[in-house]
Chain A
C-alpha cells in the first residue's frame, strides 16, 4: 500500500473514524519491514496491541464453591483414615500367624513357666504351716492376758500393796 494512503488512514485513525478493516490494513502495514522512520513510533503501538492479544486465560473453571470443596475434602480425609485403620488391623491379624519355630519356642517357654509356677505353689503350701504356728502363738498371747488378770486378782486377795 502506498505511503500516502497509509498516512491518510492514520489521520482518520487518530480521529476514531477508521473502520475495523482499515485498522487491520494499518496493523498489517506496521507488521511489515518497510516502515519509514517518521512512522516508526506507530509500529511499537501496533506491536503492543498485537502482543496484548496473545495473553490467554487458561484457568479451568471451578463450578463448585470452596465450601463444597472443603466438604468433599473432609469426606475424602475420613475415608483415608478409615482405610488406614482397616489396613492396619488386617496387618496385625497377619502378624499373629507365627511360624512353626516360633510356636515351638513359645510352647517351651510356656511349659518352663508352668513348672516354675507349680514349684512356687508348693513353696506357698509350706508357708501354711508357718501360718498355723502364728495362730497358735496368738492364742498363747491371749492366754497370757488371762494370767495377767489372775495375777491382779491374787494381788487383791492377798492385799499386797505395791
Chain B
C-alpha cells in the first residue's frame, strides 16, 4: 500500500476520529495530535488492516484506547484534565466555527454528562452510527448503549427545557 493509497483509505473517516478524540481530550491541539498518532499507528500495521470487518470501527476503537491512555498519563503527571478546566480554552480555539450561545450551552451540558454517555451521544447523534457500530467501537452491548443514550438524551432535554424556560440561552 502506498502512502497516497493509505491517505485515500482513511480519508472518509479521519474527521470522525478527530471529533471523537476531541470529545475525550477537549483541546483541539491534543485531539489533532491524537488523530495523527492513531493514523500513524494504523499505517504501521497496514498489512494487517484487511482482516478487520470495518476499518472505520477499528480505527475508532484505537482512537478511544489511545485517548484513554493519554488521559491516564495526564493524570499520572498530576495534570488532571477535568472538562470544566478546559471549557474556556476550547471556545477561544474554535474561531473558525461560528459558535452561538445556545450551541455553547449544549456543549457545556454534554461535557457534564458521564464520559460514556458523552461518547455514545457523539457516536449516535453526531456521527450517526448504527447501534451495532457503536457496540463495536465501545465494546459494549447494544442494550447497555440504548440505556445510556436514553439517559443522556433525557438529561439534555431537562437541562434544555430549564434553560429555555429561564431564558438562559439568550444570554
Per-residue CB contact flags for chain A residues 21-60 toward chain B (1 = under 8 Å, else 0) read: 0011000000000000000111011011101111111010
Interfacial chain A residues near B35, Cβ < 8 Å: 57, 59
B32 contacts the other chain (CB 8 A): yes
Alpha-carbon distance between A64 and B58 when the two chains are bound, in angstroms = 23
The complex places the Cα of A44 from the Cα of B159 at a distance, in Å, of 12
Q: Which of A14, A54, A56 contacts B150 (CB 8 A)?
A: A14
Where chain B touches its partner, the secondary structure class is helix
B102 closest partner in A (C-beta): A44
Chain B residue with the shortest CB-CB distance to A15: B150
Q: Which of B17, B36, B105, B157 contacts A62 (CB 8 A)?
A: B36
Report which residue of A14, A17, A23 has the largest number of chain B beta carbons within 10 angstroms of its beta carbon.
A14
Q: Which residues of A contact B146 (CB under 8 A)?
A: 15-17
Q: Which chain B residues numbered 119 to 146 have a C-beta less than 8 Å away from chain A?
A: 125-128, 130, 145-146
List CB contacts (< 8 Å) of B12-60 with chain A.
14-15, 17-19, 22, 32, 35-36, 39-40, 43
Name the A residues within 8 Å of B156 (CB-CB). 45
Question: What is the CA–CA distance of A61 and B14 in the complex, to the nearest angstrom?
Answer: 10
Closest to B3 in A: A63
Residues of B close to A14: CB separation below 8 A: 150, 153-154, 157
CA distance A16 to B154 in the complex (A): 10
Please give the residue numbers on chain A whose beta carbons come within 8 Å of chain B beta carbons, in ascending order.
13-17, 20, 23-24, 40-42, 44-45, 47-49, 51-57, 59, 61-63
> Closest 4 interchain pairs by CB?
A57-B18, A16-B150, A16-B146, A41-B160
List residues of B whose CB falls within 8 A of some A CB.
3, 7, 10, 14-15, 17-19, 22, 32, 35-36, 39-40, 43, 97, 99-100, 102-103, 105-107, 125-128, 130, 145-147, 149-150, 153-154, 156-157, 160-161, 163-164, 169
The 12 sampled A-B contact pairs (Cβ below 8 Å) are A14-B150, A16-B147, A16-B149, A44-B169, A45-B156, A48-B107, A49-B126, A51-B103, A55-B97, A59-B32, A62-B40, A63-B40
